[in-house]
Amino acid sequence: MSLDPTAREANVRDSIKKHFVDNIALAEGIALTFDTSLATPPLSQGGTVDKWVVVNIGEMERSRLSSLLLEVTCATRKDNEGFKLAQLTDTVIENMSDNTQTDGLKRITFYRSRATGVWTQIGSLLVTGMEESPQMDGPDKTKYKIITFIIKWVSNI
């Protein structure tokens, strides 16, 4: 018996990654990486990056109502007063919020992903909570904040 698509970690990861690529990297032009470090993302044509977002998939609980902790780090350099960091953090939170919904919860499209072929929507991932760290400073003058989002979805497990 195979695992239902709504209970597959790969589908959750791919859906979250697609959301950030579409809404942060492509729509906003912000450098994005899916890694655990604060290292500046590599650029294909040289240049420098002074703001970027790091997305880390955290602890996951699979059940009828599955949940996931998603840590998103907003980082800037050459940002003496932290204003660029504040703008970047606002952009990420805007993309993980939806005040047009009556319940106020952001819905991220949940896909059945495939290596080849068309992805199909199988539901929604709900952003049900958020906690924001204070601004922190790295040893190389990188300023950063970590935003932890709680994501929930219905699984057939």
Percent of the chain's residues with pLDDT above 70: 92
Quote the number of domains for the chain. Answer: 1
Mean pLDDT of 74-91: 96
**Mind listing the pLDDT tens digit for each residue in 17-50?**
999 999 999 999 999 999 776 666 665 556 678 9
Its pTM stands at 0.91
Burial class (CB in 10 A: 0-12, 13-18, 19+), 40: middle
CA 57 to the chain's CA centroid:
8
Characterise 144 by phi-psi region: left (phi > 0), alpha (psi -120 to 50), beta (else). beta
Q: What residues make up the domain containing 112?
A: 5-36+47-154
CATH number, domain with residue 147: 3.30.2000.20
Confidence tier at 116 by pLDDT (50, 70, 90): very high
